[in-house]
Structure 1
């Protein structure tokens, strides 16, 4: 049987449309993504150091040292991560939400409509969907973060070369050959970074940051919960004004999406920063430096005697060194990128859904014609 003509998106189709929208929005703002990741992965410290970590300062540093290509480090992995994460999230969210609404409807008299979901229900469903998506997609996120930040060894060599002291300058000449070898040997491709992580930290290294990642499932939950609530209010207001289209205008969608994502980002930002430092492995080097211990050898990371710094440990150390503001280092870049990306996603999501539905109808028509 060919089935009936599709009139609405299935969970798979809705997930595909959402993933395409996510890739589109993130591709537009990708250079900002690289900038904010570099800021988050770096330690703060003095006022002059924090100034060097401003969005514009990091942007110009990347442009000067790496050129335009530096803004697209890890682009492929990030797009794969975005697509897989958005697909998984939209699929699980659509599936869980539809199942929940069906259960509510089943308890009502026949023909009755399920009442609008409460904010608490929206948040819970979003959190469940986000947790499931994180578990399946975080390895790609770890690889993408490592690619954006770059090799720790290469960053260390560049930092040493940037210092203007005579001692460092004299040591550079003797270490130049080894530095060149490190840069030549380092493979920053998707497969190369994945192999490096597995060799140095074991397969578990691909799931670095899973704990803060699960905590951060409240981010999309807050975003979509807020979005759905505001959208419902807008729909009611439009209906009272005589607009029965049942849709928000693109600019209203953009504004609602921006407000929703801003709130979610502000609430969850400290954990976002901690997660990046865990995945980039900069937190481990910082801890070793503070304790005056030698930096752990790469192959020690997956041994039982070495434990990665946890999110709470990172936040505690940042609090002691920099105070409350240290928790929000790079938030300007994060919120600018996240809000713009999320707003573009909400703005384009309905268009991608319309195209996906049209494609589903086309496939259905094609099957019908071939079955005759």
Structure 2
């Protein structure tokens, strides 16, 4: 019997996969954030990824240093991905119901269109878009819009926690200003400094960045169709699932990376009180380019790519395995009930 997994299970598997990947690569995430924050400095004063990690490991209490802010980051990752996958799957099911109730309308999906439902990361047979009737299959544009809406919901809700994580990651950049504030204390500090607006720092670049998850998933589906034989698309090997997930994340990240940099600089709080007039995204981009050239927009890109490659690959792998386990348990229970 073919049926989609409930949104709650899909959201849970996605969130757990993201949290596992996040924990594995967190030192890279910390190093990347500090590299991004140093985009304000001249090129000769910036450290590359290897030197940044070496500097972190050379400090006293390096284990606590390289995991500074991990509590806030893990909470942000869990909530953000759970809300994203839950919203995505719920909206997709709602679209399926709408198409089912309007069968006379032209099909929104053409034969051979590529779907990027997060329910089917790794090309599982239970993928929502694959088991829907062909006329109700979402088009690429519908999938993209669903992804953007889901991203806006998830990132909008969790942005204050993301801001806390960035602030905690950079506050301990110097041995002389260690503060080790808790999540609640950091939230309170940011609120006292800049009010509710400070908690939602980086909101403007976050809006276009909501394209990143759905773009990653869409590229992943394209790669699966282009690179894998039809017989392997349903249950691809774990190594291919990891590699395709990693590659899709890299291809989606590169064109959007300058927005990632702007978001981190906005959330860092290092410019608070310096300018009464806050710069817009375009003005910030121009200012960064004038200061250090185009390449400054890609400060920390190597760390972001390595982090994204591992995190996305692990997330897709864990999510696929969780969903397969749920499907096996459901089928075993169904067989036992009918025996």
Q: Structure 2 stretches of 5 or more lacking a match?
A: 105-131
Asked whether the 8 Å contact 1:105–1:113 carries over to 2, the reply is no
Match of 2:192 in 1: 199
Aligned with residue 312 of structure 2, among 328, 342, 350: 342
Alpha-carbon contact 1:8-1:357 (below 8 Å) kept: no
Structure whose alpha-carbon radius of gyration is higher: 1
CA contact (8 A) 2:39 2:299 kept: no
Deviation of residue 313 (structure 1)?
Answer: 2.7
Distance verdict in 2 for CA 1:112–1:37, change over 3 Å: closer
Q: Residues of 2 paired with 1:45 and 1:112: CA distance?
A: 55
Query: Is 2:210 the counterpart of 1:217?
Result: yes
Gap change, CA 1:19 and 1:238, over 3 Å in 2 = same
Cα displacement (A) at 1:206: 1.2
Which residue number in structure 2 is paired with residue 172 of structure 1? none
Does structure 1 residue 100 correspond to structure 2 residue 95?
A: yes
Which residue of the partner structure matches residue 238 of structure 1?
230
How far apart, CA to CA, are the structure 2 residues paired with 1:252 and 1:12? 26
Q: Note the alpha carbon deviations across 1:44-69, whole angstroms, 9 max, x for none.
A: 5444223xx20011111111224121
- After superposition, what is the alpha-carbon deviation per residue over 1:229-249, rounded to whole angstroms, capped at 9, x for unaligned? 3334567x323xxx6x82222
The structural deviation recorded for 1:306 is: 3.4
CA deviation after TM superposition for structure 1 residue 355, in Å? 4.2
TM-score normalised by the chain length of structure 1: 0.74
The separation in 1 between residues aligned to 2:90 and 2:100, in whole angstroms, is 15
Give, in whole Å, the separation in 2 of the partners of 1:99 and 1:217: 20
Measure, in 2, the Cα distance between the counterparts of 1:71 and 1:14.
31
1:88-119 alpha-carbon deviations (Å, 9 max, x no partner): 1111111112222332344347x953365443
Other structure's SS at 1:43 match: helix
Is the aligned partner of 1:269 residue 2:257?
yes
For the pair 1:256 / 2:216, whether they are aligned, the reply is no
Cα deviation for residue 274 of structure 1 reads 0.5
Q: CA deviation at 1:27?
A: 0.6
Q: How does 1:139-154 map to 2 (within 5 A)?
A: 139-150=160-171
Cα distance in 2, alignment partners of residues 144 and 362 from structure 1: 42
Question: Which one of 185, 198, 201 corresponds to residue 208 of structure 1?
Answer: 201
1:203-236 Cα distance to aligned partner (Å, 9 max, x none) = 222111111111101111210111223334567x
From the superposition, tell whether residues 268 and 58 of structure 1 become closer, same or farther in structure 2 (CA, over 3 Å). same
Asked if the contact 2:43/2:292 (under 8 Å) is kept, the reply is no
Distance in structure 1 (CA, Å) of the matches to 2:3 and 2:145 = 28
Match of 1:57 among 51, 56, 67: 51
1:227 correspondence with 2:227: no
Instruction: Assess if the C-alpha contact under 8 Å between 1:35 and 1:55 holds in 2.
Output: yes
Once residues 133 and 43 of structure 2 are traced to their aligned partners in structure 1, the CA distance between those partners, rounded to angstroms, is 61
Whether 1:16 aligns to 2:3 is no
Q: In 2, are the aligned partners of 1:273 and 1:327 still within 8 Å (CA)?
A: yes
Residue 86 in structure 1 maps to residue 81 in structure 2: yes
Q: How far did 1:31 drift?
A: 0.5
Residues 122, 224 of structure 1: 8 Å contact kept: no
The answer for unaligned runs of 5 or more in structure 1 is 159-181, 286-294, 297-304
